[in-house]
Homo-oligomer: A and B are copies of this chain.
């Protein structure tokens, strides 16, 4: 059985640049597209696009402040994303363990 996963949410955090963005936002760095692009090896426009998709899946929210637009992470939604990561990780881990146990039992019968 496959783990129930929100593909939109997963693919949002699947991109390495977006993961880095979330890292930066969690670290408290000022959340404008320009300031974030300073910390990343991509242009401001690329960052703006990424913030757009993060916004669409609800992982971040923007609050206009004068001429700039501040982004902050949505803690609940990021919590859900983390839960999915853990769910998939746990499922695979369990299956790997089971396979390992089976392999060992076969080993024993061959002794």
Number of interface residues of A (CB under 8 A): 31
Q: How far is the CA of A82 from the CA of B88 in the complex (A)?
A: 8
Q: Label chain A's interface by main secondary structure.
A: helix
Among A7-46, those with CB < 8 Å from B are: 7, 10-11, 14-16, 19-20, 22-23, 26-27
Q: State whether A16 touches B7 (Cβ < 8 A).
A: yes
Number of copies of chain A assembled together: 2
CB distance from A106 to the nearest CB of B (A): 14
CB distance from A41 to the nearest CB of B (A): 13
Q: Within 8 Å of chain B (Cβ to Cβ): is A67? A: no
Choose from B1, B14, B27, B75 the contact partner of A14 (Cβ within 8 Å).
Answer: B14
Q: Within 8 Å of chain B (Cβ to Cβ): is A57? A: no
The interface centre, meaning the residue of A3, A14, A100 with most chain B CB atoms within 10 A of its CB, is A14
B contact residues around A10 at 8 Å (CB) = 14, 16
9 A-B residue pairs with Cβ-Cβ distance under 8 Å, sorted by A, are: A2-B19, A10-B14, A11-B16, A19-B88, A26-B95, A79-B96, A82-B93, A82-B96, A85-B85
